[in-house]
Amino acid sequence: MIMHAKPIIVGIAGGSGSGKTTWCDRLAQSIPDLPIKIIHEDHYYFRTRMTSSAPYTDKVYEDFNHPDSIDFPKMMEDLLRAANDAETEVVLVEGILVLAHPPLREWLDLKLYVECQADERIVRRIDRFMKKGFDYQDIVTEYVDIVRHRHDEFVEPSKWHADLILNGSGDPDKSVRVVQEWIKQALRSRKSFETVRDFNGKR
């Protein structure tokens, strides 16, 4: 009997507006033959929102960019459940703070960081939130007051844990193909190892 090989777990981090969610979705679409589970960090904010005072203005904001705003224990529970699901071969974990949480980082087989310059990220952020009905000035003020500081404090430093840093400004097709091939090769190697281990166990 061939033992169940654990899925390949890939973490995808990057700043707000860097393109990480788009890149994650493109990667998932590129391997439709593999059973994939996607875990989005955005789904794990605590119901009682964390608030913080902006460093220079002291204005209070709901702080979505601080590690303490994320229910990482629940996120880890769901990750472990996915990792033990015999039907899942690939788990993608996506979010701004994915590489900033050490216990989560330890579970990642491949750590990716989507890099994008600040001016491009803020333009994308403005466009996204205005489409949701938010006021332009409120979006800009919140970014300047607190979001960029959290990025510098927690998100940007986490990229040094990445195995690969991806270009969030360009066409993602080439980087998606590279990671897609890495995942397929890693799965082949892992399944081969589990098969050999099971065979040796029987002897």
pLDDT digits (tens, 9 = 90+) for 145-177: 999 999 999 999 999 999 999 999 988 899 999
Residue-level pLDDT at 78:
97
Confidence of residue 64 (pLDDT cuts 50, 70, 90): very high
Closest residue by Cα to residue 37 from 85, 77, 90, 73: 90
Say which range, 3-12, 176-185, 194-203, has the weakest mean pLDDT. Answer: 194-203
Average pLDDT over residues 108-117: 97
Q: How far apart are CA 185 and CA 43, in angstroms?
A: 30
Contacts of residue 136, Cβ cutoff 8 Å, sequence gap at least 6: 126, 130
Nearest to 120 by CA among 21, 23, 25, 19: 19
Contact present, 76 and 11 (Cβ < 8 Å): no
* Neighbour order of strands in the sheet with 164-167: 36-40, 90-94, 8-14, 110-115, 164-167
Q: Which CATH number fits domain 8-173: 3.40.50.20, 3.40.50.300, 3.20.20.10, 3.40.30.10?
A: 3.40.50.300
Question: Is residue 4 predicted with pLDDT exceeding 60?
Answer: no
pLDDT of residue 193: 52
Coil, strand, or helix at residue 66? coil
Q: Give pLDDT, residue 181.
A: 95
Q: How far is CA 85 from CA 35, 36, 146, 160, 175, in A?
A: 10, 11, 39, 30, 28
pLDDT at 62 over 80: yes
The answer to whether the predicted template modeling score (pTM) of the entire model surpasses 0.85 is yes
Q: Which two tokens stand for residue 142?
A: 């919140």
pLDDT at 197: 42
